[in-house]
A and B are shown apart, each in its own frame.
Chain A
């Protein structure tokens, strides 16, 4: 199968997908009510956003339309959240953010009854069920495919930023993993996870894709679980490393930060992507997953070690003018304050766990935060 052509879209336009947890209001375990909730959604023809199933029954995915600023994005996310929370009240279930469910065991999940999900389950076995994790995907519009590939590779240096700023999955199977984002460990287990190949043009990318399909390993772009992936049918690149934040507001702020960063990269072109950028990619990514903003970032060119926190703050200063142009400065200011004060969603989870003393109580607090924030 040949690679489809890259549809042009407005530069720096934004779209967000969030995978959400569906919780039982009695014990706050994941509850397999995705089809019940989707049925309820289906009975309300006029609803905001797009709401679709995900791989297991305890999850649901929401996605927004195309936005040029994070303000309207935030408004749409808020409307979807309020709509789904109403459904939750009518069906006696709760929704929440966060990258993992704090105490769910993978064996207790059920695959959503859809051909593609059964296919994934057949191919990947328990990895598919362990894939009951919840991420935020941010789409950035690109006018042309080569632009998209440039942006994709330039952004690789900043992937640790996005992981550290969104990390919201410290607990797995009831235990503190020590990670800010334990969710990504489940993604790395997939054989086709990681990074896209270092090619600069859509023609070269097409060659790579054709070689891969000829091996029979992949059938479509969907089979790549890369951290950043081009999405030719949307004309976007899709950043897939973020955990679903605990609030829609933070999800919109992350999108705003990324949008300003992309504007900086596209206009100032401070980076010429080369293969060697990826020498320390996995190391940096691990540091961000494990320690969040406290992690170390290694510069592939100079070999210099800095703290992720300092690098994020430095970047925020560099992109300030772009943020103002995009009306994203307030969002960037919130992110800056958060980083300076050492706050994060993962830290919030740990504090609630310590306060209430149990994983179900943490999930209940997450559900309340999602609903009320």
Chain B
């Protein structure tokens, strides 16, 4: 009888990943059907529930083991967001740049002043403020797709998310430079490091985009092969940026934007990269949930909540700048401010990166940022979905004869 396994047997890592995925889908169904929340919230909640913070059902090393998949999922969404941004639009409607700069500048300044009021070190304040500038590209892309949203606010939401993510990356590099200065490193290093990262990432992005363009990407007839090629480029970009000490998100975002400028035929991208892309997105958000720890809310405490309120107000007013003269219907501009609220899960990566540089510098930041991110992981998707539906740009039940 030794051909039969002995029961009960230990569920291995594969089995646990499978359970995690099943829980994510179940969570998404519950959220959509009964709670009328975005499916995305279900993925995150399932991860949080099975993760170490609550049931501890998933193997402890899972976030590390699956990190390449998470980075790939995030990379695809960043690249796709970049490819949706047409820089020519900025030339024809300069109010968009004004609105974007005001929104991001206000977010940065308000957050910085709020933190400085609590006597945090100025470099820490700057780092948190930089992270607060970004809207989550992943959440935006996912919720827009889930709701089949189209319209002027949706277009602007994607554009401003791409831009504020870029500003955030640059500002964070600069604030890291300030840390170097604080710690008596040479001025040269304080300037050279951010400059190397910014220019290097841009050059890498240009190389990726030109490579794809020259390879006549759009002539490939099979959608599956176009997807495989995009995947390869994202992997290559991620790995090269990582090895060269450049900014991965900046390289991917810029890569998408440059490719869009080179080619008008990006509708040939499979929508949200088809089923394989969707799987990566589910893994991305579920594992984001696994990594969340509710105790961080306690650690970040009122600072996190205060930060979110201040940041929210700044984004809201900034977005309103594009109302009227910028061509956005005022009713929609109001909701654009709400849709820009989700904080970037990039922020988690960025915060960890900064924390890795200087241990004591990182701790203050980590607590506040992670607390705010945790709240926003759950509220952010709800905010965007509400904004898309109230502005009339969502089409939640596409094809079911709604009016």
Taking Cβ atoms with an 8 Å cutoff, the residues of A that contact B are: 24-29, 31-33, 35-36, 39-40, 43, 87, 89-92, 105, 107-108, 110-111, 113, 118, 121, 126, 357-358, 360-361, 364
Contact = CB atoms under 8 A, between A and B. Distances in A.
Contact of B395 (A33, A40, A110): A110
Interface of B: 84, 86, 88-89, 92-93, 150-152, 155, 221, 264-268, 271, 324-325, 327-329, 332, 392-393, 395, 398-401, 403
Given A28-B267, A90-B93, A110-B403, A35 B398 contact: no
A89 B264 CA distance: 15
The secondary structure that dominates the B interface is loop
Given A43-B324, A90-B327, A24 B150 contact: yes
A126 B401 contact: yes
B264 A364 contact: yes
Given A43-B324, A89-B93, A361-B265, A31 B151 contact: yes
Contacts, number: 70
A91 B267 contact: no
A256 B264 CA distance: 36
B152 A108 contact: no
Contact of A32 (B92, B150, B327): B150
A358 B265 CA distance: 11
23 contacts: A24-B150, A25-B86, A25-B264, A26-B84, A26-B86, A28-B267, A35-B329, A36-B327, A40-B327, A87-B327, A89-B88, A90-B92, A90-B327, A91-B152, A91-B155, A91-B327, A92-B86, A107-B400, A108-B398, A126-B401, A360-B267, A360-B268, A364-B264
Contacts of B329: 35-36, 39
A-B interface, 7 closest residue pairs, ranked by CB to CB distance from nearest: A107-B399, A36-B152, A27-B267, A89-B92, A90-B93, A92-B89, A39-B329
Nearest to B325: A43
Contact of A121 (B89, B221, B403): B403
A43 B329 CA distance: 10
Given A91-B93, A360-B268, 18 more contacts: A24-B150, A28-B267, A29-B150, A31-B150, A31-B151, A32-B393, A33-B150, A33-B151, A35-B329, A36-B329, A39-B327, A89-B88, A91-B155, A92-B155, A107-B400, A107-B401, A121-B403, A357-B221
Contact of A108 (B155, B265, B399): B399
A86 to B, nearest CB: 8
A26 B403 contact: no
Nearest to B159: A92
